[in-house]
Amino acid sequence: MQPDDLTRVLAPKLGENLLGVEAFEGMAGRVRFRREAALDLFRAVRDDLSFAHLSMVGGIDWVDHREVFYVAWSDSARQYVLLSTDVPATDAHVETASAVWPSANWHERETWELVDITFDHHPDLRHLLTPDGYAFHPLLRSFKIHEPEELEVKTRHV
Amino acid sequence: MSQATLYSVSYDLSNTIASALGSVLPSGARDLITSSGVVTGFAVVIFAVIILAATMLNTILLIWWERKLLGRFMDRRGAMHVGFAGLLQNFADGFKLFRKDTVKPREADPLGFYFGPTAYMITSLAIFGILPISSGWDTGALPLTLLLALAIFAFAPLFIFVSAWSSNNKYSLMGGMRSAAQMIAYEVPLLLAVVSVVIVAGSFDLNTIVYEQQNYWFWGPLILALIVFVAAMLAEMERIPFDLPEAEAELVEGWNTEYGGMFFAFFMFTDYLRALVGSVLVVLLFFGGWTLPSWVPSVATSWPLAGIFWFMVKTYIVFGVFVWIRASLPRVRTDQLLRVGWNRMIPLGLVSVFVAALLVVAKCVWPFGCLPTP
Amino acid sequence: MSEMWINMGPQHPMTHGLWNLRVRIDGEVVLDVDPEMGYLHRGIEKISEDRHYNEVVTLMDRTCYVAGLAWEHLYILASEQALHITPPERAQYIRMTCEEFQRIGSHIMWYAAFVNDIGLMTPFLYGMRDRDLVLDLFQSFTGARMTYEYMRVGGVRNDLPPTFTDQARKVLDWLTDRFREYDQLCLGSSIFHKRCDHLGVLKANDCIAHGVTGPMLRSAGVKRDLRKDRPYARYDAVDFDVAVADGADVTARYLVRMEEMRQSIRILRQTVDWLEHHPGPVMAEHLPRWLGAPYAPVGREGYLLKRNYAKGVGFSAVEEPHGEAQAYVVNEGTEHPYRVKFRSPIFANLSAARQYLVGYRVADIPPIMGSVDPCIGEVDR
Amino acid sequence: MGGLTAAQAPPAPSPRNPTVDLQLSNELPMATQAAVPFIEIEALRAKEFIPASKEALTSLIAEQGQAKLIRPMFNWSGRNSLFPLHWGLACCAIEFAAAFGARWDAERFGVVARSSPRQADLMIVNGTVTWKVAHKLITLYEQMAEPKWVIAMGNCATGGGPFRTAYSVVPGVDKLVPVDVYIAGCPPRPEALLDGILKLEQLIRERKE
Do the Cβ atoms of A60 and C330 come within 8 Å? yes
- Distance (Å) from the C-alpha of residue B73 to the closest C-alpha of chain D? 10
For a pLDDT cut of 70, what percent of chain D falls above it?
A: 66
Q: Which residues does chain D have within 8 Å of residue B112's beta carbon, measured at their own beta carbons?
A: none
Chains A and B are in contact, defined as 3 or more C-beta pairs closer than 8 angstroms:
no
What average pLDDT does the structure give for chain C?
85
Residue C303 at interface with chain A, using a CB cutoff of 8 Å: no
Are D66 and D85 in the same domain? no
Local confidence band at C1 (pLDDT 50, 70, 90 cut-offs): low
Are D133 and D191 in the same domain? yes
Query: Domain holding C276: CATH number?
Result: 1.10.645.10
What amino acid is encoded at C366 in this protein? P
Residue range(s) defining the domain that contains residue D55: 46-77
Count residue pairs from B and C with Cβ separation < 8 A.
82
Distance CA A140, CA B201 (A): 83
> Would you tell me which residues 56-85 of chain D have a C-beta closer than 8 angstroms to some C-beta of chain B?
73-74, 76-78, 80-81
Contact between D111 and C141 under an 8 Å Cβ cutoff? The reply is no
**Does B19 reside within a domain?**
no
Distance CA C245, CA C251 (A): 9
Least CB–CB distance from D18: residue in A134, A145, A153 = A134
Q: Which residues does chain C have within 8 Å of residue D101's beta carbon, measured at their own beta carbons?
A: 125, 128-129, 132
Diameter over CA atoms, chain D:
57
Distance CA B261, CA C231 (A): 57
- Distance (Å) from the C-alpha of residue D86 to the closest C-alpha of chain A? 22
Do the Cβ atoms of C191 and B330 come within 8 Å? yes
Q: Which residues does chain D have within 8 Å of residue A130's beta carbon, measured at their own beta carbons?
A: 18, 132, 168
Distance CA C292, CA C80 (A): 12
Q: Which residues does chain B have within 8 Å of residue C189's beta carbon, measured at their own beta carbons?
A: 328-330
**Does D6 reside within a domain?**
no
**Does D57 reside within a domain?**
yes
Name the phi and psi angles at C200, rounded to 5: 60, 45
Query: Domain holding D190: CATH number?
Result: 3.40.50.12280
Residue in D37, D121, D137 with CA at minimum distance from that of residue D84: D121
Distance CA B216, CA B292 (A): 10
pLDDT at C93: 92
* Top CATH class, A3-120: alpha beta
pLDDT digits (tens, 9 = 90+) for C5-44: 888 878 888 778 888 888 888 878 888 898 888 888 888 8
Q: Which residues does chain D have within 8 Å of residue A139's beta carbon, measured at their own beta carbons?
A: none
Q: What are chain A's partners, defined as 3 or more CB pairs within 8 angstroms?
A: C, D
Question: What are the C-alpha distances in Å from B294 to residues B136, B281, B283, B365?
Answer: 20, 22, 17, 17
pLDDT digits (tens, 9 = 90+) for C345-372: 999 898 888 888 888 888 888 889 888 8
pLDDT at C334 over 60: yes
- Distance (Å) from the C-alpha of residue D38 to the closest C-alpha of chain A? 18
**Does B66 reside within a domain?**
no
pLDDT at D9 over 60: no
- Measured CB to CB, residues of chain B less than 8 Å from chain C are 70, 73-76, 170-171, 173-174, 177, 240-241, 243-244, 247-252, 326-336
Q: List residues bridging with C316 in a β-sheet.
A: C327
Contact between B332 and B241 under an 8 Å Cβ cutoff? The reply is yes
**Does B64 reside within a domain?**
no
Contact between D43 and D71 under an 8 Å Cβ cutoff? The reply is no
Residue in A35, A39, A48 with CA at minimum distance from that of residue A5: A48
For a pLDDT cut of 70, what percent of chain A falls above it?
A: 99
| B261: region left, alpha or beta (phi > 0 left; psi from -120 to 50 alpha) | left
Residue of A nearest to D166 (CA): A145
Distance CA C224, CA C345 (A): 14
**Does D29 reside within a domain?**
no
Distance CA B40, CA B37 (A): 5
Beta strand A93-95 with D149-153: parallel, antiparallel or unpaired? Answer: unpaired
Are D119 and D194 in the same domain? yes
Please count the structural domains in chain D.
2
Q: Is the peptide bond before B347 cis (omega within 30 degrees of 0)?
A: no
Residue range(s) defining the domain that contains residue B350: 100-370
Do the Cβ atoms of D32 and A133 come within 8 Å? yes
Residue B111 at interface with chain D, using a CB cutoff of 8 Å: no
pLDDT at A144 over 50: yes
pLDDT at C321 over 50: yes
pLDDT digits (tens, 9 = 90+) for C236-276: 889 999 989 888 889 999 999 999 999 999 999 999 999 88
Report CA C299 to chain centroid distance, whole Å: 29
**Does D32 reside within a domain?**
no
pLDDT at C281: 84
Contact between B17 and B45 under an 8 Å Cβ cutoff? The reply is no
Do the Cβ atoms of B67 and D107 come within 8 Å? yes
Local confidence band at D23 (pLDDT 50, 70, 90 cut-offs): very low
pLDDT at B373: 67
pLDDT at C305 over 70: no
Residues with Cβ within 8 Å of residue D144, at least 6 apart in sequence:
B260, D85, D117, D118, D120, D121, D123
Give the mean model confidence (pLDDT) for residues C102-106: 92
Please count the structural domains in chain C.
1
Are D103 and D202 in the same domain? yes
Helix (H, G, I), strand (E, B) or coil at D162: helix
pLDDT at D6: 40
Are D89 and D169 in the same domain? yes
pLDDT digits (tens, 9 = 90+) for C154-204: 888 888 888 899 999 999 999 998 898 888 888 888 888 888 888 888 888
Higher pLDDT, C56 or D23: C56
pLDDT in tens, chain B (374 residues): 345 677 777 888 888 888 888 777 777 777 777 777 888 888 888 888 888 888 888 888 999 999 899 888 888 888 888 878 888 888 888 888 888 878 778 877 888 888 888 898 888 888 888 888 777 776 666 778 888 888 888 888 888 888 888 888 888 888 888 888 888 888 889 999 999 988 888 888 888 888 888 777 888 788 888 999 999 988 888 887 888 777 666 777 778 888 888 888 888 889 899 999 999 999 988 888 888 887 878 777 777 778 888 888 999 999 999 999 888 888 888 888 888 888 888 999 999 999 888 888 887 777 777 777 66
The kind and range of the H/E element at D122 are strand D122-126
pLDDT digits (tens, 9 = 90+) for A81-99: 999 998 998 888 898 888 8
Local confidence band at D16 (pLDDT 50, 70, 90 cut-offs): low
Beta strand A93-95 with A118-120: parallel, antiparallel or unpaired? Answer: parallel
Residue in D89, A55, D154 with CA at minimum distance from that of residue C74: A55
**Does B118 reside within a domain?**
yes
Distance CA B100, CA B93 (A): 11
Higher pLDDT, C104 or C304: C104
Among A139-148, B136-145, B364-373, C99-108, top mean pLDDT goes to C99-108
Please count the structural domains in chain B.
1
Residue in B176, C173, C99, C379 with CA at minimum distance from that of residue A106: C379
Do the Cβ atoms of C366 and B250 come within 8 Å? yes
pLDDT at D27: 40
Q: Which residues does chain D have within 8 Å of residue C12's beta carbon, measured at their own beta carbons?
A: 87, 115
> Would you tell me which residues 74-113 of chain D have a C-beta closer than 8 angstroms to some C-beta of chain A?
none
- Distance (Å) from the C-alpha of residue A150 to the closest C-alpha of chain C? 19
pLDDT at C294: 41
Chains D and B are in contact, defined as 3 or more C-beta pairs closer than 8 angstroms:
yes
Are D118 and D197 in the same domain? yes
Residue of D nearest to B73 (CA): D102
Distance CA A149, CA A152 (A): 10
pLDDT at B309: 86
Local confidence band at C291 (pLDDT 50, 70, 90 cut-offs): low
In this structure, what is the dihedral angle of CA atoms D28, D30, D31, D35, given to the nearest 10 degrees? -150
Residue D175 at interface with chain A, using a CB cutoff of 8 Å: yes
Higher pLDDT, A60 or A154: A60
Are D96 and D59 in the same domain? no
Residue D117 at interface with chain C, using a CB cutoff of 8 Å: yes
- Distance (Å) from the C-alpha of residue D41 to the closest C-alpha of chain A? 18
Local confidence band at C87 (pLDDT 50, 70, 90 cut-offs): confident
Distance CA D201, CA B233 (A): 39
